[in-house]
């Protein structure tokens, strides 16, 4: 896997133009609110499959001036540490003629999300995730699915194909269509890709739990579980083929019930993720705000350790501001020990004092770095 050597932004969010070079270790970005720190992390996050850490639509990312958006935005990056002697170039940007579409290129040729996932692994933690344990189950699924991309690069495309088939089946159900052939075709895709999605999640959880158990840190340990029919079958030891066949049979048998509901009631789209504070034997949702933040950081660090062979890039937005001095120092030492490229943000330079001269410290002011 690679890390980012240089980054160029063109008309992205608050940046009219930016050229930046980064070291391989920790990069700390500090500056006042609104300076563009999170915008920079978002741009980096778009170098991985998906819609980035804010999940923003493509046509909403272009820089606007006097209320008028620029024609198109672009992000270009050069990566080091790849297998080839030459740096890898990744370009992603909005298609001017089709503002809602974006184009990905690797070394000048069109590429796919799974190909990008094989070249660049990325994890992030943002203030919006502080409500992860108390918010909707869909947010927790997305959290685990982001982790799963590192273990199964095709997980994103499998999830998309599952959701496409589910949307089509839901349309048939809501319209009262009874044509068996249509359902058979859609349920074949649902069962195939649904089983793959569940398998990737279980693999991710098992790897994550093993890493959590293997190391003691100042951040609390978690116990993680998946509450889903297909995931439970994997836990029982059933094969991918048997789980897929069983899901397909259940979908066929449940058509009448699903038709009355107007939607598909069973599948990995209903799975929930349960996290427990191990030492307290307390559900994370019932822990204090500070404990929930510490649990989240512990999960991110455990995932990073589980993926050391892939050298993931970490994006940590405003993480240090919510930690006491002891935990800030512990976080700095853990990140340095990982030896990964880490991008952190904060409003004050003092938040990164524990790194000393072991980090690249950059000030963000009005869309510029210094």
Both structure tokens of 120: 């660049």
Name the 3-class secondary structure at 100: strand
Quick check: 1 pLDDT over 80?
no
- Evaluate whether residue 239 is within a structural domain: yes
Question: Residue 8 has what pLDDT?
Answer: 97
- Evaluate whether residue 124 is within a structural domain: no
Quick check: 84 pLDDT over 80?
no
Mean pLDDT rounded to a whole number for the chain: 93
- Evaluate whether residue 53 is within a structural domain: no
Quick check: 2 pLDDT over 80?
no
Name the 3-class secondary structure at 46: coil
C-alpha dihedral sign at 263, 266, 268, 274: positive
Q: What total of structural domains would you count in the chain? A: 1
Both structure tokens of 26: 């920790």
Q: How far apart are CA 88 and CA 115, in angstroms?
A: 13
- Evaluate whether residue 70 is within a structural domain: no
Residue-range definition of the domain harbouring residue 252: 135-306
pLDDT, tens digit, for every residue of 329-364?
999 999 999 999 999 999 999 999 999 999 999 999
pLDDT, tens digit, for every residue of 152-173?
989 999 999 999 999 999 999 9
Q: Residue 27: in which H helix or E strand, if any?
A: strand 26-30
Q: How far apart are CA 44 and CA 4, in angstroms?
A: 9
Residue 101 CA from chain centroid, whole number? 20
pTM listed for this prediction: 0.90
- Evaluate whether residue 175 is within a structural domain: yes
- Evaluate whether residue 18 is within a structural domain: no
pLDDT, tens digit, for every residue of 180-209?
999 999 999 999 999 999 999 999 999 999
- Evaluate whether residue 27 is within a structural domain: no
Give how far Cα 134 sits from Cα of 102, 129, 228, 243, 287, Å: 33, 10, 18, 30, 10
Quick check: 263 pLDDT over 80?
yes
Beta bridge mates, 20: 7
| Mean pLDDT score, 34-41 | 95
Beta bridge mates, 17: 10
CATH number of the domain bearing residue 226:
1.20.1050.90
- In the sheet that holds 74-80, the strands lie side by side as 15-21, 3-12, 74-80, 88-95, 98-106, 109-110
CB 347 within 8 A of CB 30: yes
- Evaluate whether residue 262 is within a structural domain: yes
| Mean pLDDT score, 83-99 | 86
Question: Residue 190 has what pLDDT?
Answer: 97
Question: Residue 119 has what pLDDT?
Answer: 85
Both structure tokens of 111: 């590429």
Question: Residue 361 has what pLDDT?
Answer: 96
């Amino acid at each position: 896997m690679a890390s980012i050597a240089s980054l160029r932004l063109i008309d992205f969010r608050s940046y009219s133009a930016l050229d930046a070079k980064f070291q391989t270790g920790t990069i700390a970005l500090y500056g006042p609110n609104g300076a563009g720190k999170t915008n920079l992390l978002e741009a980096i996050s778009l170098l991985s499959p998906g819609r980035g850490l804010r999940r923003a639509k493509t046509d909403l990312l272009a820089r606007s001036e006097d209320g008028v958006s620029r024609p198109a935005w672009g992000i270009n990056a050069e990566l080091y540490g790849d297998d080839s002697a030459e740096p890898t170039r990744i370009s992603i940007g909005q298609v001017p003629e089709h503002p809602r579409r974006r184009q990905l290129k690797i070394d000048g040729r069109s590429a796919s999300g799974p190909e990008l996932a094989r070249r660049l692994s990325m994890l992030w933690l943002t203030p919006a995730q502080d409500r992860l344990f108390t918010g909707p189950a869909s947010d927790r699924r997305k959290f685990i699915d982001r982790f799963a991309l590192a273990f199964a690069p095709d997980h994103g495309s499998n999830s998309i194909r599952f959701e496409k088939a589910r949307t089509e089946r839901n349309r048939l159900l809501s319209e009262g269509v009874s044509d068996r052939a249509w359902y058979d075709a859609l349920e074949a895709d649902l069962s195939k890709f649904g089983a793959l999605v569940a398998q990737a999640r279980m693999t991710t959880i098992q790897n994550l739990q093993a890493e959590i158990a293997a190391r003691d840190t100042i951040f609390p340990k978690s116990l993680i579980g998946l509450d889903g029919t297909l995931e439970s079958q994997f836990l029982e030891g059933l094969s991918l083929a048997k789980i897929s066949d069983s899901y397909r049979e259940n979908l066929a048998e449940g058509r009448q019930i699903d038709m009355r509901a107007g939607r598909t009631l069973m599948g990995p789209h209903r799975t929930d993720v349960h996290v427990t504070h191990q030492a307290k034997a307390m559900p994370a949702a019932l822990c204090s705000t500070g404990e929930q933040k510490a649990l989240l950081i512990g999960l991110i660090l455990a995932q990073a350790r589980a993926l050391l062979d892939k050298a993931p890039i970490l994006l940590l937005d405003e993480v240090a501001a919510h930690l006491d001095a002891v935990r800030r120092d512990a976080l700095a030492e853990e990140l340095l020990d990982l030896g990964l490229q880490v991008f952190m943000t904060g409003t004050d330079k003092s938040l990164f004092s524990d790194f000393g001269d072991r980090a690249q410290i950059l000030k963000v002011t009005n869309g510029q770095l210094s």
